[in-house]
């Protein structure tokens, strides 16, 4: 009789439990809706592009690199001053019949070739520094992208872990009741308690990782800890696939080599080393070059030139290897994401089936909760693979130096424009280079801008040695220069650098046909 009473008590307890917990049990739809809230966007969320722009504009590394570029610009001015180092005033203070007057003039004349190549060397170094600044910007944008995706990943992991923790707490409460009525023993309850403690520890770790990621990001963009609450990032719901990269491997290799600022910088370093060698060779004509160490200096300059050639070759090999590596990493990340999504699909079906069984009172609540916990875990793995694939995509995009789905829009783009008549030259987009030709073979070139007040100056550099660098400040809103073309000139190419008042600089190549 006592055994029958106990069994009856168990049945009544389970029935009462099922009736009272049905209202508290979430359906698969509600669970899926809750976990997908991690992709909800809010007003004011920063996109990746906005965060990158903030990093480039505010980053200390960019400001330091800009100062190095400014110093390189001044080195050119110093080198030009060496053409006439003594100044006309000093010359005319000497007696016209004094021997030193003759020697100074001889030194000025005979040292001109050396100083000419020295100027060219410093111009090459300045341009190499400018391309180095471009490479630094791309590296910072890539680092910001990795921080961006990692932050979104850590935020998602934290939210999903808290959802899983709530489900585990429900499971622990159900199992405590089962222990009281003898359905399970204490060891099962202890295992669930250990799972709760372990997950709680994971939540603390996720919170710690999130703070560290934020600190690193704020350091990168030169923001202090006071701005912690001012940033919210825009989650990314769309998943990448193999089709997200439309370029073939050959096209990616071609784009990486053609648009690499590192290789451009290496090319100008070679030119600088070559001009340094020529400057050393021509120093034989001047007083400074006379001596037994002349050939040693020439050999050293040749060795530096060889070193630059080898450095350029090594840089190209590194770029090619990076493309192969990044392509492999991206493909592996997509394969891993697909595997996790397949597992999640099976887990979703398993959770749905268990809910239907629970509704039919064929399984107990703890079995349903276990299925829901498993679903949240697999969803977490899928989200992690999702953001990791974006990190791989960003790394590949940096290696290729161009859009992976549109090779015609490389990051290191060239403005190509045709000559227009004086009347036909129309204003273009901000920062666009425009030109018009006059009847006297003079060419007007200007930068159209809607933000003239934010620009300090524009420096024009030309590939031909017949034209010196030209600097233009604000003139009629167009930062205009006037170029006298030589007879037979069919095209003109070079680059122009826009210097902003906040320290930023923008470099663009151009070709005028």
Domain locations along the chain: 414-512
What pLDDT does residue 300 have?
Answer: 76
Residue 394 φ then ψ, to 5°: -65, -40
Residue 411 φ then ψ, to 5°: -70, -35
What pLDDT does residue 63 have?
Answer: 56
Contact, 118 vs 280, CB < 8 A?
A: no
Predicted structure pTM score? 0.66
- Residue reference for tokens 């722009």: 53
> Dihedral sign, CA of 510, 307, 300, 78?
positive
Distance CA 377, CA 384 (A): 11
Distance CA 126, CA 68 (A): 9
Fold of the CATH domain 414-512: Immunoglobulin-like (2.60.40)
- Sequence-ordered list of residues with C-beta below 8 angstroms from that of 129, at least 6 positions apart, any chain: 68, 69, 72, 265
Contact, 340 vs 406, CB < 8 A?
A: no
Write out the chain's pLDDT in tens, 513 residues. 444 444 444 444 444 444 344 445 667 778 888 999 999 988 888 888 888 887 776 555 555 644 554 554 454 444 444 443 433 333 333 333 333 344 333 334 444 455 555 666 677 777 777 788 788 888 888 888 998 999 999 999 999 999 999 999 999 999 999 888 888 888 888 999 999 999 999 999 888 888 888 877 777 776 554 455 667 889 999 999 999 998 889 999 988 988 888 888 888 888 878 777 776 665 554 445 455 556 667 677 778 888 888 888 898 999 999 999 999 999 999 999 999 999 999 999 999 999 999 999 999 999 999 999 999 999 999 999 999 999 999 999 999 987 776 433 333 323 333 333 333 333 334 456 666 655 555 667 767 665 666 677 788 888 776 777 788 776 555 677 777 777 667 777 788 887 776 666 677 777 776
Contact, 427 vs 449, CB < 8 A?
A: no
């Amino acid at each position: 009789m006592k055994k029958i009473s106990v069994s009856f008590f168990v049945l009544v307890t389970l029935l009462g439990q099922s009736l009272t917990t049905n209202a508290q049990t979430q359906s698969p739809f509600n669970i899926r809706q809750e976990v997908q809230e991690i992709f909800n966007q809010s007003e004011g969320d920063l996109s990746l592009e906005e965060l990158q722009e903030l990093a480039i504009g505010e980053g200390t590394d960019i400001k330091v690199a800009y100062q190095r570029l400014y110093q390189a610009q001044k080195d050119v001015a110093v080198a030009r001053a060496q053409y006439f180092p003594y100044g006309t005033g000093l010359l005319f203070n000497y007696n016209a019949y004094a021997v030193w007057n003759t020697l100074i003039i001889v030194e000025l004349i005979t040292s001109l070739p050396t100083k000419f190549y020295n100027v060219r060397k410093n111009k090459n170094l300045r341009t190499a520094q400018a391309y180095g600044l471009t490479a630094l910007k791309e590296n910072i944008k890539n680092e910001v992208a990795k921080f961006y995706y990692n932050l979104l990943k850590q935020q998602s992991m934290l939210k999903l872990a808290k959802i899983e923790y709530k489900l585990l707490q429900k499971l622990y409460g159900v199992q405590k009741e089962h222990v009281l009525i003898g359905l399970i023993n204490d060891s099962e309850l202890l295992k669930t308690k250990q799972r709760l403690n372990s997950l709680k520890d994971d939540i603390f770790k996720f919170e710690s990782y999130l703070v560290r990621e934020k600190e690193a990001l704020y350091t990168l963009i030169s923001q202090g800890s006071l701005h912690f609450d001012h940033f919210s990032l825009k989650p990314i719901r769309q998943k990448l696939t193999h089709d997200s990269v439309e370029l073939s491997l050959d096209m990616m290799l071609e784009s990486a080599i053609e648009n690499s600022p590192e290789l451009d910088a290496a090319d100008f370093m070679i030119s600088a080393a070559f001009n340094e060698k020529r400057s050393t060779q021509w120093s034989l004509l001047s007083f400074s070059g006379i001596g037994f160490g002349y050939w040693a200096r020439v050999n050293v300059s040749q060795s530096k030139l060889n070193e630059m050639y080898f450095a350029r070759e090594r840089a190209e090999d590194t770029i090619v290897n990076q493309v192969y590596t990044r392509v492999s990493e991206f493909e592996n990340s997509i394969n891993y994401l697909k595997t996790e999504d397949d597992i999640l699909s099976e887990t979703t079906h398993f959770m749905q089936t268990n809910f239907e069984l629970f509704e039919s009172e064929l399984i107990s609540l703890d079995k349903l909760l276990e299925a829901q916990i498993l679903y949240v875990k697999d969803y977490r793995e899928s989200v992690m693979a999702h953001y990791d694939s974006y990190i791989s995509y960003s790394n590949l995009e940096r290696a290729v130096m161009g859009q992976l789905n549109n090779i015609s829009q490389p990051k290191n783009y060239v403005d190509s424009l045709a000559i227009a008549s004086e009347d036909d030259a129309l204003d273009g987009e901000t920062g666009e280079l425009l030109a018009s030709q006059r009847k006297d073979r003079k060419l007007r070139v200007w930068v159209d801008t809607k933000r003239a007040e934010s620009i300090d100056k524009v420096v024009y550099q030309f590939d031909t040695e017949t034209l010196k660098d030209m600097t233009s400040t604000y003139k009629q809103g167009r930062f205009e220069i006037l170029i006298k073309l030589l007879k037979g000139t069919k095209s003109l190419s070079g680059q122009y650098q826009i210097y902003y008042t906040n320290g930023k600089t923008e470099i663009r190549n151009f070709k005028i046909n």
